Amino acid sequence: MSDVLQAVSEAMASLAERAGASVVRVEGRNRLPASGVIYRADGVIVTSNHIVGATMNCVSDYPAATV
């Protein structure tokens, strides 16, 4: 592998490792799980609007709100 490709590969692996700790699973009723990202330490999670719409009425583990 060329030096450039090796450097890109290592940078991508490092990025994935750091970002992975912030990724969470979001589950909605009768839907496949989706993902979200921890945005703030106080529990704010960012996910797609269509995921929020599907989950707002079935939150059982944690309270949720759109912002």
CB 45, CB 38: distance < 8 Å: yes
DSSP state, residue 58? G
Instruction: Give the pLDDT of residue 14.
Output: 93
Q: Where are the domains of the chain?
A: 23-67
Instruction: Give the pLDDT of residue 6.
Output: 94
Instruction: Give the pLDDT of residue 60.
Output: 59
Prediction pTM value = 0.55
At 7-66, the pLDDT tens digits run: 999 999 999 888 888 888 887 656 678 888 888 888 888 888 777 665 555 555 666 677
Instruction: Give the pLDDT of residue 5.
Output: 94
Cα–Cα distances in angstroms (integers) from residue 21 to residues 18, 37, 38, in the given order? 6, 9, 9
